[in-house]
Amino acid sequence: MNGVHDMGGMHGLGPVAYEADEPLFHARWEARMFALSLASGAWRRWNLDAGRHQQEVTPPADYLRLSYYERWYAARTALLVRFGLITANELAEGTPASGTARQVPPLSAEQVPVGAARGNSTLRSIEVQPCYQPGDTVRARNLHPTGHTRLPRYLRSRAGVIERHHGAHVFPDSNAQFLGEAPQHLYTVRFTAREVWGEAASERDAVYADLWESYLEPA
């Protein structure tokens, strides 16, 4: 979706606001919110891509106004309600509705380091051969899907060169909508700064992005 989350190249969104000696969390609730997000995600009612998309549908004014973990709170509570792990009423009341069964077992402390160290690879084996090889010239297609996508607006219709092939990976546009993993070949593509930003950009500089095959066409 052409949302405010797709920020690459926008102006006026403020300074970088670097903070020296920044703490990992600025308040304890941020740490708990981070942990709640990971622990509730372990029920696997949604996936990584659906989780990202839930953030993207935050109303634009809220997206820009909320702090990072406030946005996590909004997105995670929306997912918990949407997938029936809690009800909106329970969230408002802060207590379980009477008669609801306890879900067991939740993610345990022992599983935390195991899961963190294992991760979730998105690499998949597919039969179809890659369309492109390193060195091939491609163009990012002029796509404007209304759902989740990882093709940033600033690269659409721009030509670049395949830098590297990463094998086939879960396709976020499909996975976020629970339409299946639909793995596709994934490539790093190099775009010159001038191709993307025009003649005012440095003639030396370049932007690289990791793009799925269906985002690309031969150029």
Partner 1 sequence: MSSHSDHAHDHDQGDVPSDMELRGKALETLLVEKGLVDPAALDAIVDTYENRIGPRNGARVVARAWSDPAYKARLFADATAAIAELGFTGSQGEHMVALENTPRVHNMVVCTLCSCYPWPVLGLPPVWYKSAGYRSRSVIDPRGVLRELGLDLADDVEVRVWDATAEIRYLVLPERPAGTDGMNEDQLASLVSRDAMIGVAKVAPPAGSNRP
For position 144 contacting partner 1 by CB under 8 A, the verdict is no
For position 125 contacting partner 1 by CB under 8 A, the verdict is no
Minimum Å gap between C-beta 129 and partner 1 is: 20
For position 132 contacting partner 1 by CB under 8 A, the verdict is no
Among 98, 199, 204, 218, binds partner 1 (CB under 8 A): 204
| Beta-strand pair 137-140/216-218 | antiparallel
For position 70 contacting partner 1 by CB under 8 A, the verdict is yes
Closest-CA residue to 203 (of 213, 194, 195, 211): 194
For position 59 contacting partner 1 by CB under 8 A, the verdict is no
How far apart CA 207 and CA 219 sit, in angstroms, is 18
For position 175 contacting partner 1 by CB under 8 A, the verdict is no
| 74 contacts: CB under 8 Å, gap ≥ 6 | 58, 62, 66
Minimum Å gap between C-beta 154 and partner 1 is: 7
For position 186 contacting partner 1 by CB under 8 A, the verdict is yes
Minimum Å gap between C-beta 208 and partner 1 is: 5
For position 120 contacting partner 1 by CB under 8 A, the verdict is yes
Asked, as a colleague might, if the bond just before 172 is cis with ω within 30 of 0, I would say no
Exposed/middle/buried for 5, CB within 10 Å: 0-12, 13-18, 19+? middle
User: SS3 for 180?
Assistant: coil
Of 61 and 218, nearer to partner 1 (C-beta) is 61
For position 95 contacting partner 1 by CB under 8 A, the verdict is yes
Among 81, 166, 177, 182, binds partner 1 (CB under 8 A): 166
How far apart CA 57 and CA 114 sit, in angstroms, is 32
Of 141 and 166, nearer to partner 1 (C-beta) is 166
